[in-house]
Structure 1
Amino acid sequence: MTDKPGPSKRSGSVLTSGSRAKRGRIYSANSSLDDFECSSVEAEFSQCGDEDEEDDEEEVSDDSCDSIFDSRLRMDRFESSSRQKISNPEDTFNRPMSPDRPMATSPSIIQNYGELSDIPDSLLNNSITPSVSMLMSDALSINIPSEDIENLPLRSPPSVETSQTRVERPDNQPSEEGATSFWSTQGTMKSIDFTKTQELLVPAPSDPFEAFRLLIDENILDLIVHETNANAIRVLNAPGVKEHSRITSWKDITRAELSTFLGLALRTGTIRLNRLSDYWKKHWLFNIPCFAQYMSRNRFMLILRCLHFSSETNEEDRLAKIRPIVDHFNNRMNDIYYPGKQLSLDEAMVLWRGRLQFRQYIKNKRHKYGVKLYVLAEPDGTVLKFQIYGGAGDDTSGVGHTQNIVLKLLEEKLDSGHSVYMDNYYNSYDLAVKLLNRQTYCTGTLNKNRKGNPIELGTITLRKGENKSLFLNGVHIGKWKDKRYVLYISTEHDNEMMETTNKRGTVLVKPSAIIHYNNFMSGVDLQDQMLSYYPCERKTMRWYKKIFFHTLQMSLNNAFHLHNKFSMNSKMNLYDFRLYILEKLLPKPPQIVEKMSTKHILTKIENVKTRQKKEGNKTRTITEVVRKECKGCREKKNRVATLYECKSCIGKPGLCIECFFELHL
């Protein structure tokens, strides 16, 4: 063999058939691409092979081998877009096929089968012959004539139109890929009409008490009466009850007595005292006669002890003790009232510092520790529906908890064109698409780490007042810089900037989604504020009793809003509204006039005594009144000597001025 000038030689692979014709036919299928321009078998061996035609071992140069493998790779890329990435061809030549005979191999797409056997004549006789890489690979290949390979285009990157074509998933749910890769700076928002009407579904109430009875009706009162009496029997029959215990004097409660009990409980929110027993004290600093006139202290405490709402025991349902109250409130609001277009969804807290398996902590709330409520409300504070968070055993817990909560609270309001405002605890791209498919808008702040957010907004830098918006599938996600960055999402409002005036009179320019969010999001916080004015919960109560009184106050607050919206009478403030309801629950008792047989008059004690008092060398006689101990103060465990007495009372007891009026009025 003679050395060919040019690139360095390396050992070529040996075909066991020893036939150049066979080898030429194998390579001819790939002989028409850019890097390999041999058009025939003779040209191939004259340019790429050894000059000695008598020698069976052929030496292939680097350029010829590279061109052969490049042509094979182009063929394989055309056949399938899912091939593996090709490593450096220079590295693949050094891998021997077998210990006996080294052979130049193609890239990693070609599999090593050891020695290459003779190519069957049946393949050589066909006009279409696969490449060596196809013969050595177990992948499915397409045989294409060599004259057609010349016209095959190389694979180019996908066009912009192709790259922005979204592939829909079978379940019609947005994919993570679509939520992070195909956002655009221009988009159109879906137009949804509000198909319902804000209205009261029952006759309008004529007075505040009738509005209150729309929510606290006879059905719920009868339920509480039945469960409370049943629970009192269980407490009475429990082991460890002493003979003189208060429960031994239990009498079944009635609906009228329960109404009186609820009225007194609401009254404790108007007059705040630290202890429940203080409302029945006779001390002149605490004397509030209205409580003792309607119910004794022991009876009130006994009803509060036995107050119950469900006798069912379900270990899986942690909220079984309060479930009837929650369901009744939600069902009644759904039956009597349909809200307007704008809705807000947020959390509320019922204070609870004791041990509880599902106690929560929210640092931005007024009560940081307690039972968490998910509340759906109107912007004016009317509560439409709420659900208690019960921990891991809840039916909405697990993966996608926040989405499940939103869909649970909105299940009766979907497909109607509502606009729901939520904070970043709930909002996500996936939830926005689901609500949009159910004809419901959503707007609110967005967590920057939420799955599905566009990647571009995570790294962009803005100056104060600037806004950057991206759109996809009718969902608008924007980033606005105020004092700090604000990330928001909306399916209703686009990237329009609007002017607004703050409480200091300064005109500011903000995104329309932010302005609407600030106007309509505060419904739950406003409801919490109104409930805080007249709280009637007590620290010593069990957790489900605190939830009941919280629900009772929400019912009264809702009745206040419904009365002012739909009643023909003039609007009332919350204080007067509560006072009107208390007057109905606690009617004025008839006054009993006691005819006094004798007239009691506070007079000065007439009994006097004399004594001698020495003043130097002289002695002087002094006359002074004999004081008496005050009878009223002695009962209060105080010792007071007084100058006055009541001659009409038995024994003519001594009385101070205050005790005289307490005893005779």
Structure 2
Amino acid sequence: MSDKPGPSKRSSKTSILTSRAKKRRTNFFSDESDCSSDEEVFSQCSDGDKEWEEEEETESSDESIFDSSKSCKNRLAVSRDPLELSHKLPPKNQAGSNEVMPSRHISTEKDNPNSPDVIQDYGMYPDIPDNLLVDIDTTPSVSLLRSSAPTPNLSIQEIPTLRNENFASSPTPPTLSARHEPSQPEDQQPSQQGATSYWTSDGTLKIIDFTKTQELLVPAPSNPYEAFRLLLDDDYLDMIVHETNLNAVRVLGQPGLTEKSRITHWKDLDREELIIFLGLLLHTGTIRLNRLSDYWKKHWLFNLSCFSQYMSRNRFMLILRCLHFTSEPSDEDRLAKIRPVMDHFNNTMNAIYYPGKQLSLDESIVLWRGRLVFRQFIKNKRHKYGVKLYVLAEPDGTVIKFQIYGGAGDETAGVGHTQKVVLKLLEEKLDSGHSVYMDNYYNSYDLAVKLLDRQTYCTGTLGKTRKGNPIELGTVTLKKGENKSLFLNNVHIGKWRDKRYVLYLTTEHENEMIEVTNKRGQITEKPSAIVHYNNFMSGVNLQDQMLSYYPCERKTMRWYKKIFIHTLQMSLSNSLYLYNKFSATSKINLYDYRLSILEKMLPKQNVLTKTLVMEHKLTKIETVKIREKKEGKRTRTIKEVVRKECKGCRGKKKRTATLFECKGCPDAPGYCTECFCEAHS
């Protein structure tokens, strides 16, 4: 066939190319690679463009049923997908090839055959095969497409292959998605399973009995100090003493130490001294000063002699510096330095106390603004930056268990992180009929089903984008005070409108409204799940509030020491709750409880009176020395009073031996009567 344009030997029917199709045609011809499957892609594009043009000419009232222009755009968009563009047009005829490719008449202007884009001869584009172009007459009617259009919810994997198929032979083409939607985390994707056909307005909930009893598993304490020592036992204190002494040896072995370094005066720590150290540390929360060294100042504006009576400043600072909890370094475990403290608290609470039915789960944070790989930010917390703790507590604030979040390398990290955290904290409390209250950070339909399988209720707010949520609740419109509830598999998900919309989930509470009275005395109705959530969810916040009254942490401490002090404070507040619950005596407030414990941890004042708190009085030296005196052939033993050098005369560059001393002064120096009066006037 000649390459020059010429008259057609057969009657042709024009095909219309839009600007987008012409652009696609240019891209196809510019590609020299060999892949036969592009023929079908180009055929689909051509058909779509013709359908698009015909739809512009024939505007029908059925547009609400099927939008052909959107359908065409969808098909074009799918052809741009990288997965679909792996096939390309066949190459041009090579020299020496005997095969002649049939050509086809192409027209871009339907009403103007003289347009430069209108090709009246087959020879201008000899490379276009016949099966790449489809006549307008073979295009299915728009009304037929509208009447047989399927539901436009197919994913890319569900799209049937359109290769070697014409719209003429397939009158019901599928509608393709225009583009991929951005993916969401697995536990936050709205699920098609949540369609309203599965959820019903009437449903039943599973009845689970609480099979345990709230009780103290050890004998009830008789005083606050005994209650505190339930969580601060001797084995725990001995572990801290052992690890602190080992750490002091490591510090002593570091290069660069001078003779004046404090660590060179280190003496091994024992349990009694550690209790005094912890007592002084807790007392710094009772009396707040800007710097730790201020507690030992002798300035008359401070006058805190109680700290210097029990321990010197250098000794306190030295113990605080060497305080340690493990001697086994670990590159894999980021929490190795504090894990013994966390494990001891959790194991001790599990051994001495079993909580009631209602539990709350929330996150807390220990302030830390330094550099730390797992530092977190929570904008609605009092301390926004710090180490995040996942805490399981009772509604009154008693902490049952806590877990430190160690970042991406944590055992609960990865897909389904919140579910792992919840199941980890509840592992000793499952299959007992507990009711757990959580916020929308943890709650989901899948977690509720898993907890129901382990005989545990859950109630709380719910994120609107969680996987498994019923789709109908996302679009329903309510008036203020109205509630809409749906049920599936013993799970109740509801939407209630107060000042704003609230989405909640529960497996325990039915769809019923309860009258409540607000602070102004107004009576309103709220869903039962919301009322119970407000009553039982605040346990972790109450614990944080109690710890904020007497803070002992300091800004310059290492992160694991701050968590240790935070755990020590939690142990003290927990012991207060247990003491008030199970002690036979009357309840006591936190301030008096702390003072009662500090009085036991620090030695009594009357013990220190003889040694440290003495009146300045001139007394005769009681120390005597024995010497032997020879008298002829006999030897006589003589007792002589030891004399001391007068401290006042020595300052005057005089040497005076005296028989008197002042026991009220440090080291009981000797004084003559004149110098004593001058020094103590």
TM-score range, shorter chain: 0.5 to 0.7
State how far apart, in whole Å, the 1-side matches of 2:319 and 2:236 are.
Answer: 16
One-letter identity of the residue aligned with 2:395? P
User: Counterpart of 2:429?
Assistant: 413
Structure-1 separation of matches of 2:385 and 2:370: 9
SS at match of 1:380: coil
Cα separation, 1, equivalents of 2:363 and 2:288: 27
- Pick from 393, 398, 415: which aligns with 1:382? 398
DSSP 3-state at the match of 2:225: helix
Tell me, in whole angstroms, the C-alpha distance in 1 between the residues paired with 2:167 and 2:267. Answer: 96
Match of 1:597 among 606, 615, 618: 618
The amino acid of 1:594's aligned partner reads E
SS at match of 1:222: helix
Residues 383-428 of structure 1: CA distance to partner in whole angstroms, max 9, x if unpaired?
0000000000100000000000000000000000000000000000
* Number of residue pairs matched by the alignment: 454
- How far apart are 1:175 and its partner, in Å? 11
**Contact 2:190/2:465 (CA < 8 Å) preserved in 1?**
no
Q: CA deviation at 1:256?
A: 0.3
8 Å CA contact 1:564, 1:571 repeated in 2: yes
AA of the residue aligned to 2:194: A
Once the 2 structures are TM-superposed, how far is the Cα of residue 504 of structure 1 from its aligned partner?
2.2
Change (3 A) 1:83 1:454: closer
Counterpart among 193, 202, 226 of residue 178 in structure 1: 193
Matched, 1:650 2:650: no
**Aligned residue number for residue 458 of structure 1:** 474
Tell me, yes or no, if the aligned pair for 1:86 and 1:107 is still in contact at 8 Å: no
- Once the two structures are superposed, what CA deviation does each residue of 1:345-385 show, in whole Å capped at 9, x if it has no partner? 00001000111100001011110110000000000000000
Letter in 1 for 2:248: A
Q: Deviations over 1:197-229 (max 9, x none)?
A: 000111111111111111000011000000000
Residue in 1 aligned with 2:141? none
Say if 1:228 and 1:180 are closer, same or farther in 2 by CA, change over 3 A: farther
Equivalent residue for 2:134? none
| 2:507 maps to 1:491 | yes
Aligned to 1:129: none
Shift of 1:495: 1.3
TM-score by length of 2: 0.64
Task: Kindly indicate whether residue 277 of structure 2 is the aligned counterpart of residue 265 of structure 1.
Answer: no
Separation in structure 1 between the aligned mates of residue 190 and residue 450 of structure 2, nearest angstrom: 12
**What's the C-alpha RMSD, in Å, of the aligned pairs?**
2.7
SS at match of 1:532: helix
Counterparts of 1:161-560 in structure 2 under 5 Å?
A: 176-181=191-196, 182-560=198-576
SS at match of 1:500: strand
* Alpha-carbon displacement from aligned partner over 1:97-120 (angstroms, at most 9, x marks no partner): xxxxxxxxx8899xxxxxxxxxxx
Q: Secondary structure at the match of 2:314?
A: helix
8 A Cα contact 2:618 2:676, kept in partner: no
Q: 1:507 to 1:383 in 2, by over 3 A?
A: same
**Corresponding residue to 2:581 among 565, 573, 590:** 565
Letter in 2 for 1:428: S
Q: Alpha-carbon deviations, 1:232-262, whole Å to 9, x = none?
A: 0000101111121000000000000000000
User: How far, CA to CA, are the matches of 1:648 and 1:421 in structure 2?
Assistant: 76
Hey, what does 1:146 align to over in structure 2? none
Structure 2 residue matching 1:495: 3-state secondary structure: coil
The answer (yes or no) to whether the contact 1:180–1:452 under 8 Å persists in 2 is: no
Give the direction of change, closer, same or farther, for the CA distance of 1:518–1:243 in structure 2 (3 Å limit): same
* One-letter amino acid of the counterpart of residue 474, structure 1: N
Work out whether residues 391 and 403 of structure 2, in 8 Å CA contact, stay in contact via their aligned partners in 1: yes
The one-letter amino acid paired with 2:675 is: I
> Is the Cα contact below 8 Å between 2:408 and 2:414 reproduced in 1?
yes
After superposing on structure 2, the runs of 4+ consecutive aligned residues of structure 1 that deviate more than 6 Å are: 82-87, 106-109
> What's the CA shift for 1:92?
3.6
Aligned partner letter, 1:283: H
The alpha-carbon deviation at position 287 of structure 1 amounts to: 1.2
Cα shift at 1:508: 1.4
Q: Match of 2:549, SS?
A: coil
Offset of residue 501 of structure 1: 1.1
Indicate conservation of the 8 Å contact 1:429/1:452, yes or no.
Answer: yes
Q: What amino acid does structure 1 have at the position aligned with 2:618?
A: S
Instruction: Note if contact 1:350-1:372 (Cα within 8 Å) is conserved in structure 2.
Output: yes
**Cα distance in 2 for residues equivalent to 1:90 and 1:458:** 40
CA distance in 1, matches of 2:285, 2:477: 51
Q: Is the 8 A contact 1:385 1:409 kept in 2?
A: yes
Gaps of 5+ in 2: 1-147, 149-157, 174-188, 620-671
Does the CA-based 8 Å contact 2:363-2:389 persist in structure 1?
yes
Deviation of 1:180 (Å): 3.8
Instruction: Give the whole-Å Cα distance in 2 for the aligned partners of 1:529 and 1:569.
Output: 25
Helix, strand or coil: the match of 1:291?
helix
Q: What is the distance in 1 between the residues matched to 2:160 and 2:438?
A: 46
1:575-590 residue pairs with structure 2 within 5 A?
Answer: 575-589=591-605, 590=607
> Relative to 1, partners in 2 of residues 1:400 and 1:90: Cα closer, same or farther, differing over 3 Å?
closer
Please give the alpha-carbon distance, in whole angstroms, between the structure 2 residues aligned to 1:308 and 1:83. Answer: 62
Contact 2:190 2:466 in 1 (8 A): no
Larger radius of gyration: 1
Amino acid at match of 2:388: K
Inter-CA distance 107–241: structure 2 relative to 1 (3 Å threshold) = same
TM-score calculated relative to the size of structure 1: 0.65
